[in-house]
């Protein structure tokens, strides 16, 4: 019957986690700055929303320390890591320990907002916080992009099936007489 919403129970969390682990995403480090102090975390839940105006979304766990800093600062940078920056991903995921200075790994600069930007990242999106929406354990941040940087020759570090991955480049053509590749 059109228009009637069917109510079904959600899958159990472990089932969802095992299935979503197969989803491959680019690896990003989300950074911010508050009163001269830098904060950051590794995230894979990042997506473009629109180009006019330029806006993207980032999902951040509300229990993480950096979440509150981003909300207080009202600005953040999405650093899309290049394949060789997996150590940066691990450090910002907390794998070096809680007391480690995460920003000792990599070389950092800024764009317009003052949020840290990783030099050599495949791309960086400097954002002011436009909107946010809380959903269970996470907050969806909508960032209005005010500056970008990118290195076109860099391939992006990926994460899927619970490990870092690299692009495996496959080139093929639909027809033998076409010299364009996917």
> pLDDT tens digits for 78-115?
999 999 999 999 999 999 887 789 999 999 999 999 99
Quick: pLDDT tens for 120-150. Answer: 999 999 999 999 999 999 999 999 999 999 9
Give me the residue label for tokens 């394949």: 83
pTM: 0.88
Structural domains of the chain sorted by starting position, each given as residue range(s) with its CATH number in brackets: 25-161 (2.30.110.10)
Alpha helices in the chain (DSSP H): 13-20, 65-73, 86-92
């Amino acid at each position: 019957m059109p228009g009637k919403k069917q109510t079904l129970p959600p899958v159990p969390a472990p089932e969802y986690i095992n299935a979503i682990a197969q989803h491959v995403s680019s690896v990003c480090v989300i950074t911010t700055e508050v009163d001269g102090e830098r904060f950051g975390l590794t995230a894979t839940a990042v997506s473009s929303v629109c180009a006019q105006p330029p806006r993207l979304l980032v999902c951040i766990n509300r229990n993480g320390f950096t979440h509150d800093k981003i909300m207080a600062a009202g600005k953040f940078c999405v650093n899309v890591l290049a394949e060789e920056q997996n150590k940066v991903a691990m450090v910002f995921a907390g794998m070096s320990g809680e007391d480690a200075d995460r920003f000792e790994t990599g070389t950092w600069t800024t764009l317009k907002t003052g949020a840290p930007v990783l030099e050599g990242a495949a791309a960086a999106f400097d954002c002011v916080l436009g909107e946010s929406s809380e959903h269970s354990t996470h907050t969806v941040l909508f960032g209005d992009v005010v500056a970008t940087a990118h290195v076109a020759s860099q391939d992006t570090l990926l994460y899927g099936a619970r490990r870092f991955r690299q692009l495996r480049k496959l080139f093929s053509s639909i027809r033998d007489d076409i010299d364009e590749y996917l």
